Structure 1
């Protein structure tokens, strides 16, 4: 009986979503660089290009304040290093934090999401036990302000939280993370918040060329992979559905997925070019705006945040990490792409 109820809830959720507006497209505003234009100029750039949603990785006042009153919706990151303070403190600590770091600078009506931690389990596992307690305290703080149903809280994760992602129906979370993922998924289901994932077919391609073709990563494959009678022609869909299957395997049905980072570099390595970045970005945006959905959730557009607004010359790692910018620092597009 419980399974039937879950299926009915999923059907209702998907039906309501498909009747709604097109899935939004946002852009990540990374700022690990020393040559970026001032945030006040960035607001104008966004508006002139029809970009109405931005992800900020932390509530830096210099970047946050210029968005006040612009109508641009925000996903605001709660930095990994603040998680212990928010997790170990009382709800009043979280309340003070959101009021002084966020709502003192932008109205709550512009904040759509709080992203509590970014790729903690992959990059900074020390903070793993603090993610869910911090989320719960922040949620109580928002409830105190009457915003518990208006601002959704989640946490951004790398695809590496999956121990198995191929074929998609075999999607399985890393069993070592069950202790922290299960309460997170329960919270997401109870509050209607999405699972936030960072999806990069580019990385899948360069790390596994023997298994992943460039065409499959760039949405131009003529080969169809069949899994559970569902047809896959690209890595983006396959990755998202792997997360959906993994959630269902743990007993959580109907949790939406928001792609909090996805993109393709314009230079700095193999297959990194403006042409490939345009091909990838155009397809991601088009699928969101047209509510294409995925084979497992057809007609349910996936909300996405493209990475990145500008190249970030301060990024560490491989050279291509510095070349995900959609725009040059002069405001000229690195490649042609439309957001609406």
Structure 2
């Protein structure tokens, strides 16, 4: 999960969302299925809940075989996480060993046609730096393995990044990656461009607001525009748009245009903090869903549908950290919605 993204300038903070290529189809709005809890229903019940709410894409944080088998044959498209701890062996091994890893850990339990993305590591840069050197070699080996299987065009590889990899994000046109990460980011962006894959970022405006309320208004974070700011003639009235475009500008600053952005996590908690409530969670997530379904896009990329994975399917009572970390669930463990969010 994302930690607060610190702003360097006066007003607004940015912590981010998702884009996809120009299309007449609406952008998928998926959900994260986190399982750091001891009171969750079995995967079969979770899948019934997902299907009954017409959710078509799900992010799994690891390739748990029982969970993958439960999703098999449902038609639900998946983002599957490759755990951070698996990266050293994948990076240092051969393409054949990556092929074997895919076959044993993923393809043995679910059909390739249900896999949309592999997220190779989660929030490694800056936050879990031991694994940084292994990210790109792992992705390269996995890509060659997918290509050998004829799957490289349908299963896209990326890595889920913390929004804090931006050292500056205000105004959006000043978006820039942390200079300490510039070499590895350039290599990653080159891989994404070469393979037609998206940049994935975990974004939590909630943390930006709670950490910097003097600079970030609750209205700005929740899509309740009270003021409009202009940056290079583009109008911004919410953090969502501004953050996406800050990442777009940061990529362009490194010479990469047109790489889509996918928000691999975003959400708002219902309890555990003054700003955490079902009403605010509905305001935030409801706007995220509507913008994706209506292909609203951002000021810099208008009309580009936003693909996003909402965090989280259920509350996770074993999450570490502040109390609100346990309360991101859209649904209770009994299957009842925490608030009236519609996915279509």
TM-score, normalised by the number of residues in structure 1: 0.95
- Say if 2:113 is the partner of 1:77: no
Deviation at 1:124, TM superposition (A): 1.1
- Structure 1 runs not aligned, ≥5 long: 1-13
- Say if 2:264 is the partner of 1:268: no
The question of whether the paired residues in 1 share the 8 Å contact of 2:33 and 2:314 is answered with: yes
| Higher-RCO chain (CA-CA 8 Å, sequence separation at least 6) | 2
**What residue number does 2:243 align with?**
239
**What residue number does 1:148 align with?**
152
- Say if 2:337 is the partner of 1:333: yes
RMSD: 1.0
Return the alpha-carbon distance in structure 2 between the equivalents of residues 333 and 121 of structure 1: 34
**What residue number does 1:291 align with?**
295
- Structure 2 runs not aligned, ≥5 long: 1-18
- Say if 2:57 is the partner of 1:53: yes
Deviation at 1:222, TM superposition (A): 1.8
**What residue number does 1:177 align with?**
181
**What residue number does 1:7 align with?**
none
Deviation at 1:93, TM superposition (A): 1.1
* Equivalent position SS for 2:252: helix
Deviation at 1:62, TM superposition (A): 1.9
Deviation at 1:217, TM superposition (A): 0.2
| Deviation beyond 4 Å, 4+ runs, structure 1 | none
**What residue number does 2:67 align with?**
63
**What residue number does 1:31 align with?**
35
Deviation at 1:121, TM superposition (A): 1.2
Return the alpha-carbon distance in structure 1 between the equivalents of residues 21 and 231 of structure 2: 24
**What residue number does 1:163 align with?**
167
Matches within 5 A, 1:71-150: 71-150=75-154
Out of 278, 281, 285, the position equivalent to 2:282 is 278
Return the alpha-carbon distance in structure 2 between the equivalents of residues 137 and 320 of structure 1: 38
**What residue number does 1:218 align with?**
222
**What residue number does 2:315 align with?**
311
Deviation at 1:64, TM superposition (A): 1.4
* Equivalent position SS for 1:70: coil
Return the alpha-carbon distance in structure 1 between the equivalents of residues 242 and 203 of structure 2: 10
Return the alpha-carbon distance in structure 1 between the equivalents of residues 149 and 24 of structure 2: 28
Deviation at 1:172, TM superposition (A): 0.2
Out of 204, 217, 225, the position equivalent to 1:200 is 204
* Equivalent position SS for 1:154: strand
The question of whether the paired residues in 1 share the 8 Å contact of 2:23 and 2:305 is answered with: no
* Equivalent position SS for 2:130: helix
- Alpha-carbon deviations, 1:268-293, whole Å to 9, x = none? 01200000000001000000000000
- 16-25 or 316-325, larger mean C-alpha shift: 16-25
The alignment of Structure 1 onto Structure 2 pairs a total of residues equal to 326
The question of whether the paired residues in 1 share the 8 Å contact of 2:208 and 2:216 is answered with: yes
**What residue number does 1:209 align with?**
213
* Equivalent position SS for 1:121: coil
* Equivalent position SS for 1:120: coil
